[in-house]
Chains A and B, each alone.
Chain A
Amino acid sequence: MDLYSVIGPTPQITPSSSLRLVELGPEVLQAIENKSELYLKSAGSDDYPVLVTPSKTFKIRQKSHSNCVLLIQNQGETGFAYSQFNNELLLSSIEPSVNIKGVSVLKHLSQKPEQKPISLETIYENSPISKNEFEQLRPELNLVDLEGSCYIMHDELVCDCLSTILRSTIEELVDSGDEMHIMTRLQSIDADWVIQAVQKHQEEQFPREIRDTVLAKYTTRTGSSLSFRNEKIVRLYGVLLLKNSPADTKLDDFTLNLRLNMPSNYHPDIKLEYLNGNYIEENGCIRYFAETDLSPIPAERISELFKLKKEWKLGEIEPFVQRINTKNLKTEKFLIKFAKVRRSGKNIIVTGR
C-alpha cells in the first residue's frame, strides 16, 4: 500500500470541526453496541467535561505523547494520512455530582422561596451525571420539582412528610388488624397500598412529588413492594433532634427523646452508629456536630478534631476522617500519619501528637 500524507496533517479538519482520539472503555463500548445515548456534559464552562452513558459518568482528561500517530484512510492500493495526533482522551469513571447552584431550600410548603424557576431537566443538563445516576441521587439530595420549579426540601419538611407517611401506613395496618406485626410488615408492603393509606389518612396534603421523593429516599423498592429503611429514618429523626438538643444532653435522655419523637407504634432499633458523622459523645453526653463543618485539608481537620475532643475511639473518629482518606486506607493506618494510635483492651484509641 502506497502511503500519502496531506501537507501538515492536524486534528483540525475544517475551521469549525476537529477530530480527537478517545479511549473507549468496556462500558462506553457496550453503550455504543446497545445504541444507547451518549452525552458530553459539564457543570459549567470552567468545569471539567464528562462523557455520560445512560448509567455511568466518565471524566475526560488528555494524555499527551510524543509519538507520531496518523489517522489513515485506506483506499485499497493507497492510503492517505489526513490527521495527526499528539494526544488521546482518556475516560475515567468518577462519582457524579448534581449542580444545585441557584436552587432554593424549601422549609414550609406554604412559603415557597422566590427564585427564578429552574426545572429538573435544566439541573440534569447542567450536572456532570448520567440519567440513571441522577434519578438515584435526586431523592438523596431532597431535590423536588414543584410546578416546574425545583427546590431542595429542608430536612424538617422531609421529616414531616415521612412522619405523615409512617403514621398513615401504621394507622391503616392497625385498622386492618395487623397491629402485632407492624415492624415486620413495614419491611415488605405493597407500594400502592401505602400510597392509598397516605391519601386516606394524611392530615396535611403533601404534593405527590414530595411524597414520592420521600418514599424513594426512605424505602427500597422491589417490584411493587416497599421496604422502609429504618437506619436512614432513625438518622433523619436523630440528627434533627440532636440539632435542637442542648450540648450537655445525656445519652440516655437523647435515646428516650428520639423514641418519643418517632410516630407511635414505629419501633426500629436505635443505634448511635446510625448518626455517624453528626455527633460527638463525651462523658456520657451527646452533642450535635456535622462532619461537613470540618476543614477539607487533612492536617487541619485532624487538628480541629483534637480541639473538640482529646481522645477518640477509632469507631467515633472514623466518620469524621472518611472524606479525607481519599486512598481508602485502613483508618488506623491513615491516622498514624497525623496522630497517636494505640490499643487499649478491645478498643483502639486515637490521641493527638
Chain B
Amino acid sequence: MPSRSINTEKAFESINSDTSSADPSVASVVSTKWGSMILEIQGELNLPDSKPKTLSQKEQDLFTTVAIPQLVANGQEITKDAVKFGKLEIEQDMKKATLYISTSQRLVGNVESVDPPLGVLKLDSNNNGQCEIVDVISKKVVFKVRPLPIM
C-alpha cells in the first residue's frame, strides 16, 4: 500500500477554536467548531431500518429529511430520512445531561472529557484514497444508567 497523506486542516481549525465564546448556548459546550458532538448510550438505540409507509399525522411529524453535513459530504448534497428519537438537555453546571426518549423515559448522564480526544477520520476509496481528519472531539455526553420513567 503506498502511503496516503492525511489532510488535517479542518482538525487544526477545530483544535484552535474557542467554541464557548463564539456560541454561548449550552449545546456548544459539547460541540466542536464544526458542530460535531458525540453521544454515547449503553446498549442499543432501536431505530427503524426504513421509513414506514403508512403513518398517522402524529407519527409523520417525527420524521424529517436531513442533509449530511458538508464537513464529511465532500461538496455532495446527500439527504437522508431521519427520525426524532429524543430531546437532550444539559444543565447549567455543564456537567449533567438528561436525554428524554419519547414521552415516557428519560436517561440521566454526564458531560465527560474524551481523553485522549477522538479524531473523526474520513476515508475515501475514490480520489486516490484520500484521508482526512475532519474534526477533533474532546467532550462527549455519556448515558451509563438504565432509563428512568417520566412521572
Contacts and interface: CB of A to CB of B under 8 A. Distances in A.
B41 A7 contact: no
Contacts of A344: none
Nearest to B31: A74
Interface string A55-84: 000000000001111111111100111101
B80 A7 contact: yes
A19 B137 CA distance: 14
Given A32-B133, A79-B27, A71 B36 contact: yes
B27 A76 contact: yes
A134 to B, nearest CB: 11
B87 A67 contact: no
Contacts of B41: 67-68, 70
Interface string A34-54: 010111111011010101100
Interface stretch (A23-31, A170-178, A186-194): A23-31
A7 B81 contact: yes
A45 B2 CA distance: 9
Contacts of A84: 45
Given A17-B123, A125-B2, A72 B116 contact: no
A89 B45 contact: no
Contacts of B35: 73-75
Contacts of A29: 15, 116-117, 136
A32 B76 CA distance: 26
B48 to A, nearest CB: 6
Given A33-B12, A40-B131, A125-B2, A6 B82 contact: yes
B83 A7 contact: yes
Interface residues of A, number: 60
A5 B75 CA distance: 21
B37 A72 contact: yes
A47 B2 CA distance: 12
A73 B39 CA distance: 11
B87 A38 contact: no
A1 interface: yes
Nearest to A65: B40
B4 A21 contact: no
Contacts of A68: 40-45
Interface of A is mostly: strand
A94 interface: no
Given A17-B72, A22-B119, A76-B25, A7 B45 contact: no
Interface string B1-23: 11111101001100110000000
A126 B83 CA distance: 45
A73 B87 contact: no
A23 B38 CA distance: 14
A88 interface: yes
Given A21-B120, A24-B136, A3 B3 contact: no
CB-based closest 4 A-B pairs: A38-B6, A6-B80, A74-B31, A41-B3
Given A31-B8, A32-B8, 11 more contacts: A2-B87, A7-B80, A8-B49, A16-B124, A17-B74, A17-B124, A21-B121, A72-B36, A72-B39, A74-B35, A88-B118
Interface of A: 1-9, 13-14, 16-26, 28-29, 31-33, 35, 37-42, 44-45, 47, 49, 51-52, 66-76, 79-82, 84, 88-89, 125-126
16 contacts: A6-B82, A7-B81, A13-B73, A13-B78, A17-B122, A21-B120, A24-B116, A24-B117, A29-B15, A33-B15, A37-B5, A38-B8, A71-B36, A76-B25, A81-B39, A126-B2
